[in-house]
Every structure is written in C-alpha cells, then in structure tokens.
Amino acid sequence: MAETFRAAGYATGYSGKWHIKSPRDAGRELRYGFPAAGTDFGFYKTDRKSANVTDVALRFIKAKSAQQAPWFLVVSWILPHVPYRAPAGYREHFRNIELPPNVPAGRATDFARQNLPEYYGMIESLDDEFKRLLAALRAAGVAEDTIVVYTSDHGDMIGCQGLKAKRWPHDQSARVPLLMRYPRSIRPGTVVETPFGATDIYPTLAGLAGVTAPKNLDGLDFAPLIRGETATPPRDYVYLEMPYAYVPWPGWRAIRTQRYMYARTQDKPWLLFDLKNDPWEMENLVTSPDATALVKSLDRRLTSIMQQSGDSWQYRAEDGDLRNWLPGGGKQRSQSELGAEWPGKGFHGIARKASQGKNARRGKKGRTKRPNK
C-alpha cells in the first residue's frame, strides 16, 4: 500500500508497532514503501506509551503538510493489548460496567470483571490520542482534505463465549472498528451495513484518493458505495481464515455476511449464528434440523470462496510463535483456563507438526507451501 501511494507522489511515514519481518535489504532507506526505522519519520517500536507514537505522527503531519504535498501516514498504537493495564486514570471510568450477555458464569465472569475495565480504559485512552491527531490536522489546515481511517487488527474475547483472546471467528474477536472521515467525499453520518474486510482498506483508500491500485488484490474498492454513488456493494460478505489458532491443523475458515456467521474446520461444520436474531451468538444453529439447508448453502459458498482466493486445507504455516497457538501449546492451554470447549481442545499431537515445519525450512521434505497470489 505504501509503495503504491509513494509511486503516486505521496510522502510516507510510519509510527508505532511494526510486527512484521523486515526484508533482507533492511538497511535500505525504505521498507515496503515506508522510511526505514530511525530515518525521516520511520518509527518502528513496540511502545505501550501511545503518546510517544502520537508525538511522532504529529511531527510528520506538521512537517509534510507545510510542504503542501500529499502524504500517507500509518499510526500503529499497541493498545489495547495484553497485559490489560490501562493508563492511569482510565480504568476508573469503567468500574461498574455491565458484562456482555455471552460471558458464562464462573471463571469467565471473574476474568471479564477483572480485565474489561482495563480493556475499555485502554480504548478510551486511544480516543484521547486520536483527538490529538484530528487537532493536528486542523492546525495544519488539512483536515478537510485528509482521508482518516480508524481501525484495528483484531479484538479479544475477554470472557465472551468462555474464551480469552483473539483468533476466533466470533464478533468479539473478528469484528473491529472501521471509521472513515473525508469531508470532500463522504457525507457525515454515512453507515455501510455491508461487511467490510481488512483487505478492502487498501483498494478503497486508493479509490477515495484517485490512486490506481494494483490489479488482483484480495480486497475490493468500496469507494463508490461509501461516496453514495451506488447502493450495490462490490461484495456482500467477508471471508475469514485462521490456518493455525487453537483448533487442529489447518485451523478454521468462516464467512461473515450481514446476517450470518458460519465457520467450519476441515472435518465438519462448526458454528452458525443468526446475527439478526442472536447478535451475541448465544445459540449455535449448526446442528439444528431447521438450519440444515442453510448450513449446506453457506458451506458450498465458503468452499467456493476458498477456491477463488487460492486458500486450501493443505496450507501449513511455519513461522512465528505458532507452536504456542496450536493444541498443546502454551497459549492454547491458557485459553482453556475459562472452561470453553472447541474442536481439538486438549489434543497434543499437533505441536509436533509445527516442529516438522521448522525442519522443513532447513531443507527437509514435506513442506507444503501456499499458492502465490
């Protein structure tokens, strides 16, 4: 994305958590279109002090706006994130919260009561940091001509469904904020009900800015819908995938429409919720006799989407801390503390496959690669 905008004449900047491997030529001036760390507004740091990340962004906005040239900036705060500790003074605003109805009694309730005030406090602290960014845009005289997007990479369950963290197809994990502001093109109060995926941000930003994005991206351009030029969305669903998480290889795949969330593992259908009548996902309909036809329909559609996207149940991940997430790994065991059940819980044979994946990188046979896109 940064490479595309830079090629179109935009100055680029990055402040905050980076969390991806740098390319082999990391010593160069640019990394994936952003200035390298420590050079000209390239600030990559896992910093829990959100104000530090904001400070770099404010300097970038002031400097680049004064040059009267277009710019593209990513501000990547780490909060809200484990460990759940809100900055001083914010937890107190959420002492007497009402727990979500899908938090089971017992250990899950205790966990939620302890951590949700911290979680909400961290989110509110970002509201204040975001306010500083908007004020900087106004001070620089560019507020009306800047596309602003506020979003996140994931949520956490924090007791909902008896679960703790991310990597679940449930709304508390998979559904994240998406707020856009662009006074020149987006009418205030516009609400898009159609599901919008993280991969759609890239082509949609390009569409709003009048920049040509590469062809064959996973995401689609929602700019005409957001601007009110059409009432027909380019797609009526979001495809969700988690090749490795807490369930056995190769994880789960899901489709999220405005009304339904359907998920399956490689073995069989797993979850089906009618979000119109059951927004908190309290009743899994996947084995209901009344939902048999719906399960088959969504399953066929999910299989087709997997094929179209180049996804496969043969996919195997090999990098990162994946062994911690797999059944038998430390993060999976931690997830079990609240008592929830899921496919493959407690199965300890999967972690050895991850080890085999590590060996595959050293030239061993048996590595399965995902198709290029």
Same domain, 175 and 277: no
3-state SS assignment for residue 373 = coil
Same domain, 249 and 345: yes
In a domain, 116, yes or no: yes
Same domain, 180 and 87: yes
Q: Which domain holds residue 53?
A: 2-236
In a domain, 54, yes or no: yes
3-state SS assignment for residue 123 = helix
Evaluate whether 370 touches 315 at the Cβ level (below 8 Å).
yes
In a domain, 371, yes or no: no
- Over its C-alpha atoms, the chain yields an Rg (Å, rounded) of 22
Q: Is the pLDDT of residue 252 over 70?
A: yes
Task: List, for residues 54-83, the tens digit of each pLDDT value.
Answer: 999 999 999 999 999 899 999 999 999 999
Same domain, 248 and 226: no
The tokens describing 196, both together, are: 């919008």
pLDDT of residue 347: 64
The 10 Å CB-count burial string (b at 16+, else e) for 17-43 is bbeeeeeeeeeeebbebbbbeeeebbb
Pairing of strands 148-151, 178-181: antiparallel
Q: Is the pLDDT of residue 370 over 50?
A: no
Confidence of residue 43 (pLDDT cuts 50, 70, 90): confident
Read off the pLDDT of each residue in 206-232 and give the average, rounded to a whole number.
Answer: 95
Same domain, 143 and 243: no
Confidence of residue 372 (pLDDT cuts 50, 70, 90): very low
Cα–Cα distances in angstroms (integers) from residue 271 to residues 170, 262, 289, in the given order: 9, 5, 14
CATH code at position 263: 3.30.1120.10
In a domain, 302, yes or no: yes
Domain count, the chain: 2
In a domain, 66, yes or no: yes
Same domain, 259 and 152: no
Pairing of strands 260-265, 252-257: antiparallel
CA distance 56 to 322: 32
Residue 298 CB contacts under 8 Å (≥ 6 apart), including other chains: 255, 260, 262, 272
Among 218, 184, 187, 190, residue whose Cα is nearest residue 202 = 218
Confidence of residue 40 (pLDDT cuts 50, 70, 90): confident
Q: Is the pLDDT of residue 20 over 60?
A: yes
pLDDT of residue 3: 94
pLDDT of residue 356: 41
pLDDT of residue 362: 33
Same domain, 344 and 227: no
Same domain, 250 and 221: no
pLDDT of residue 336: 87
Task: List, for residues 294-315, the tens digit of each pLDDT value.
Answer: 999 999 999 999 999 999 998 7
Look at residues 218, 236, 254 and tell me which one is the last residue of a structural domain.
Answer: 236
Pairing of strands 42-44, 11-16: parallel
CATH code at position 21: 3.40.720.10
pLDDT of residue 102: 98
- The DSSP secondary structure of 206-265, one letter per residue, reads HHHHT-PPPTT-SS---HHHHTTS-SS-S-SEEEEEESSSSSSTT-EEEEEESSEEEEEE
pLDDT of residue 355: 40
In a domain, 133, yes or no: yes
Alpha helices in the chain (DSSP H): 2-7, 50-66, 107-140, 171-174, 201-209, 223-226, 292-309, 322-325, 330-335, 350-360
pLDDT of residue 175: 96
Same domain, 131 and 192: yes
Same domain, 66 and 200: yes
Q: Is the pLDDT of residue 284 over 60?
A: yes
Task: List, for residues 336-367, the tens digit of each pLDDT value.
Answer: 899 899 998 876 554 444 444 433 333 333 33
Read off the pLDDT of each residue in 106-131 and give the average, rounded to a whole number.
Answer: 97
In a domain, 118, yes or no: yes
Task: List, for residues 73-109, the tens digit of each pLDDT value.
Answer: 999 999 999 999 999 999 999 999 999 999 999 999 9
pLDDT of residue 351: 41
High-pLDDT (> 90) share of the chain, %: 75
| Least confident stretch, 43-52, 57-66, 72-81, 173-182 | 43-52
Read off the pLDDT of each residue in 250-260 and give the average, rounded to a whole number.
Answer: 96
pLDDT of residue 353: 44
Q: Is the pLDDT of residue 332 over 90?
A: no
The tokens describing 162, both together, are: 């008896």
Same domain, 61 and 92: yes
Average pLDDT, the chain: 89
In a domain, 367, yes or no: no
Chain-centroid distance of CA 250 in Å reads 19
Look at residues 211, 236, 261 and tell me which one is the last residue of a structural domain.
Answer: 236
- In Å, the largest CA–CA distance within the chain is 64
Task: Using CB atoms within 10 Å of the CB of residue 282, give its burial: 0 to 12 exposed, 13 to 18 middle, 19+ buried.
Answer: exposed
Read off the pLDDT of each residue in 272-287 and give the average, rounded to a whole number.
Answer: 98
Evaluate whether 207 touches 223 at the Cβ level (below 8 Å).
yes
Look at residues 204, 236, 268 and tell me which one is the last residue of a structural domain.
Answer: 236
Read off the pLDDT of each residue in 139-165 and give the average, rounded to a whole number.
Answer: 96
Same domain, 298 and 212: no
